Amino acid sequence: KASLENMNKAKERIDSIAKVIDDKTLSFEQCVALYSTDKNTRNCSGILTNMQNGSTKHEMQELPQEVGRAVYSLEEGQVSKPFLMVDRSGKTVYCIAKLKSKTKAHKANMSHDFALLKQLYEGHKKQEKLNSWIAKKQKETYVRIDENWKNCDFEHDGWIK
């Protein structure tokens, strides 16, 4: 865990970086390239990648809680005030976030939601193939199920013959 002295130094540093951005001396993206220590966002202008689908779009509930709170009231292009958060490796770090774009709630469509629709379709197809494979294997594989477990609700029917 970081010492109080180190946390104070980090706070002073992030505050000075925030001032540089506010004064428009450097852009958010330039500051990311110069000062960021996050290897996941440093080389892509500070853009946070969605670990679930690889895209750069996030639903609010998918964001780390601290990031969600920081960007919730921002407008497109605005930069947050510095905030503390726990990163993916479990370290407490100071961050500044920029809201690149915001999409209002809408019915899914191919132009805005292609990555999400693709992910849902692929997940559905994988589940269909898995179900088909299990049904096939159940017919040709002997499985003994203990008497104590025969009354369980199995996800796939056909285990008890």
Average pLDDT for residues 29-52, to the nearest whole number?
Answer: 85
Q: Give the ranges where the chain is alpha helix by DSSP (H).
A: 4-22, 28-35, 65-71, 110-140
Owner of token pair 């469509």: 109
Looking at the fold, whether 91 and 120 belong to one and the same domain comes out as no
16 pLDDT above the threshold of 90 = yes
Looking at the whole model, is its pTM more than 0.75? no
Looking at the fold, whether 54 and 130 belong to one and the same domain comes out as no
What distance lies between CA 29 and its chain's CA centroid?
A: 20
Distance CA 76, CA 100 (A): 6
Distance CA 60, CA 72 (A): 8
Q: What is the pLDDT of residues 58-109, one digit of tens each?
A: 777 788 889 889 998 899 999 999 999 988 788 889 999 999 888 777 677 7
Looking at the fold, whether 76 and 144 belong to one and the same domain comes out as no
In a domain, 155, yes or no: no
Q: What is the pLDDT of residues 110-143, one digit of tens each?
A: 887 787 788 889 989 999 999 999 999 998 898 8
> What residue numbers bound the domain in which 30 lies?
4-95
Q: Residue 130 phi/psi, 5° resolution?
A: -65, -45
Distance CA 79, CA 82 (A): 9
In a domain, 102, yes or no: no
In a domain, 161, yes or no: no
What distance lies between CA 128 and its chain's CA centroid?
A: 26
Looking at the fold, whether 16 and 89 belong to one and the same domain comes out as yes
Looking at the fold, whether 23 and 63 belong to one and the same domain comes out as yes
Dihedral sign for Cα 80, 82, 84, 85, please.
positive
Do residues 76 and 102 touch, judged by C-beta distance below 8 A? Answer: yes
